[in-house]
Chain A
Amino acid sequence: DQQVKQNSPSLSVQEGRISILNCDYTNSMFDYFLWYKKYPAEGPTFLISISSIKDKNEDGRFTVFLNKSAKHLSLHIVPSQPGDSAVYFCAASAVLYNFNKFYFGSGTKLNVKP
């Protein structure tokens, strides 16, 4: 049973516009949420994170929003650039027996058109 879901496998956006990537989770024990960017043939690269005690975290062009009541998070990229074209994974973590267990969504492939 997948505890973190990304229901949109792909998203296409024009350069300069906003990209919004969505993620839903089911486990209320998750207390930390992360977004990763992945290019083909490379490992995922950490982008931005948010703690469950916050509802927004911003880093440059990237903003993550968390809605705990809806068990939903989103990543906004403004303005989108062609170099942002990649697969984006959301992840959620919980601490179990003094180590973090991370659950990942299946990814959304973002294509930013020039």
Chain B
Amino acid sequence: VQLQESGPGVVKPSETLSLTCGVSGFPISGGYYWGWVRQPPGKGLEWIGSIYQSGNTHYNSSLRSRVTISVDTPKNQFSLKLSSMIAADTAVYYCARHLHSPDMGRTYFDYWGQGILVTVSS
């Protein structure tokens, strides 16, 4: 399973960030969630949200108002949109395969992309 993030390295304040995660070696419809995690420079990991093959999504409550995650099954990829970007959104953004089973209270990320640094700057 391999994941690869793509998108702009610089975004202007107030603009919307758009990132895509291409998945290879495993069908995106294969029964997992697919998630986004970010890490500001020198800081810890923060979950942004995740999407299931059906389009069902779960978002971090602190970002919910600004986040949209979508899935493109034919292209085997999923995407992140984060609106109203500010300097504090500067981070490395990772996509990952996510075993997320709310019914059983289970969650973990087993395969990760290499990450993409997104800087918010005018």
Q: Do A and B come from one complex?
A: no
Q: Please list the residues of chain B having a beta carbon within 8 angstroms of any beta carbon in chain A.
A: none
Q: Please list the residues of chain A having a beta carbon within 8 angstroms of any beta carbon in chain B.
A: none
